[in-house]
Amino acid sequence: MQNQLIDGGVTAPKGFLAASTAAGIKKNGGKDMAMLYSTCTCRAAGTFTTNVVKAAPVLWDQELVSRQFGVQALVCNSGIANACTGAEGMDACRETALEAAQALKIPTDSVLVASTGVIGQPLPMDCIKTGIHQMADTLSDSREASRMAAQAIMTTDTVKKEAAVSIILGGKTVHIGGMCKGSGMIHPNMCTMLSFVTTDACISGELLQKALSLAVEDTYNMISVDGDTSTNDTVLLLSSGLAENPEITEENQDYQTFLEALLFVNETLAKSIAADGEGCTALFEVTVKGAAQKQQAAVLARSVVSSSLTKAALYGHDANWGRILCAMGYSGADFDPDQVDLFIESAAGKLQLTENGRALPYSEETATRILSEKTVTAVADLKQGNAHATAWGCDLTHKYVDINADYRS
């Protein structure tokens, strides 16, 4: 069954409310805090950065998710990452959760926290606390509330990122909705951004985590903007169970349907991050097919979307396909370069660049036209088997350098 996006975000599933505010953390006065609240206790699943340097909120959420006592709220700030902040960083998480717990009348250890922004600075707790109360008073399940929350978690993002689907499970309508942020410090190996996904599906905590881990592998772990795996990467999935479908407790057809819908929502969100990569002008989609194993295809595809030289060539609309083969070559995955058929494709057409690893004659003009579209796909066929994987990235531009030469000022 093909999933279709519906209008909506984190408040699309039953029981979820959102709020946001400008708490004075961002220097420009923009919205910088978001709150998510569930009318009932949720099961929670999470995946977190593999970076050895983990921000305090990552450690806080890992603990809460692993304890499985149920969560009911999430407080997120943008502007300051609360990373490399030591014991005071953990204190800031605890104080944030405590303040939200008091405002919402729920237990402190049912409050998840998340931060994104500059590393090494302390959170301004006065702003955070004031923001929490403002948000607690304005929680809403409206479309506008989820839109504003998605905007409030942005840093260098240029567009807010939301997605939602609805599916039928056991005769009941079930929703999955999500919002995420991420534009720089984006590189495979756990999510590389913040993503908060909600659902009203009734599903066991174990399968909720399993489905999320599988979905993350094929979505957030397959995007790269700049090769930098963040200290704060977090994906959280909360289920309220309010859809009242028969509880999913085994990997049956309902589980498959749920997993596919979850994959679809997360792929949509992950692609929106790659497409909004800092300074980028194009989404770069790389599919490696004909692989012997999926893992091999994934490593090769990720290596291509991560190559600075390939990304710069895409920015220049230059069909410098040698850089694609080169990036596959240093990926660490084995393959036979003399077997590779390489194609580029976009709304402007399709072109085969190599056959069995050798250049084919092609029109540079056609190639440039294909590479000038907003979404460009490269397909490498290894002709070894039936496994395939897709990774998403973006071009490397002057603006990326601008943004990151001067991020803090």
Q: Output the smallest distance, CB 270 to its own copies, in A.
A: 18
- Of 351, 204, 187, 243, the C-alpha closest to 15 is 243
Catalytic (active site) residue 192 = yes
Considering the complex, state which of residue 98 and residue 118 has its C-beta at the smaller distance from its own copies: 118
Binding mask 130-169 for its own copies (x = CB under 8 A): ----------------------------------------
* Angle between helix 253-275 and 205-218 (nearest 10): 40
Size of the site for its own copies (CB under 8 A): 67
Residues 6+ apart with CB under 8 A from 67: 109
Of the residues 107, 170, 357, 385, which one makes contact with its own copies according to CB under 8 A = 357
Using CB under 8 A as the criterion, what x/- string covers residues 359-398 for binding its own copies?
Answer: x------------------------------------xxx
Stretch that binds its own copies, among 97-105, 123-131, 198-206, 349-357 (CB under 8 A): 349-357
Is residue 354 within 8 A of residue 325, CB to CB? The reply is yes
Closest CB to its own copies among residues 27, 67: 27
Which of 127, 185, 283, 376 forms a contact with its own copies (CB under 8 A)?
Answer: 185
**Which CB atom, from 178 or from 188, has the smaller least distance to its own copies?**
188
Residues 155/358, Cβ–Cβ less than 8 Å: no
| Both tokens assigned to 346 | 């976009």
Q: Which of 323, 346, 367, 378 binds its own copies (CB under 8 A)?
A: 323
Binding mask 326-345 for its own copies (x = CB under 8 A): xxxxxx-xxx-xx-------
231 is a contact residue toward its own copies (CB under 8 A): yes
118 binds its own copies (CB under 8 A): yes
Q: Which of residues 84 and 214 has its CB atom nearest to its own copies in the complex?
A: 84
Query: Which stretch in 124-132, 143-151, 301-309, 381-389 sits in contact with its own copies by CB under 8 A?
Result: 301-309
How many other CB atoms are there within 10 angstroms of residue 250's CB atom?
A: 9
Q: Which window, 118-126, 210-218, 266-274, 375-383, contacts its own copies (CB under 8 A)?
A: 118-126
Q: Which of 158, 316, 363, 374 binds its own copies (CB under 8 A)?
A: 316
222 backbone φψ class: left, alpha, beta (φ>0; ψ -120 to 50): alpha
Binding mask 189-208 for its own copies (x = CB under 8 A): x-------------------
**Entry field: residues in the chain:** 409
- Residue number, 97 or 327, with CB nearest to its own copies: 327
Given CA atoms 149, 153, 158, 164 in this order, what sign does their dihedral have? negative
Which 52-91 positions form the footprint of its own copies (CB under 8 A)? 52-54, 81, 83-86
- What would the x/- binding string for its own copies be over residues 207 to 226, using CB under 8 A? -------------------x
192, 199, 310, 377: the catalytic one is 192
Q: Which is nearer to its own copies, 189 or 204 (CB)?
A: 189
Sign of the torsion formed by the C-alpha atoms of 395, 196, 295 and 50: positive
Q: Report the residue from 119, 125, 292, 348 that binds its own copies according to the rule CB under 8 A.
A: 119
Nearest-approach distance from CB 43 to its own copies, in angstroms? 30
Tokens standing for 385? Answer: 């088997």
Residue numbers at the binding site for its own copies (CB under 8 A): 50-54, 81, 83-86, 118-121, 184-185, 187, 189, 226-231, 306-309, 312-313, 315-316, 318, 320-323, 325-331, 333-335, 337-338, 354, 356-359, 396-398, 400-409
Q: Could you list the active site residues? A: 192
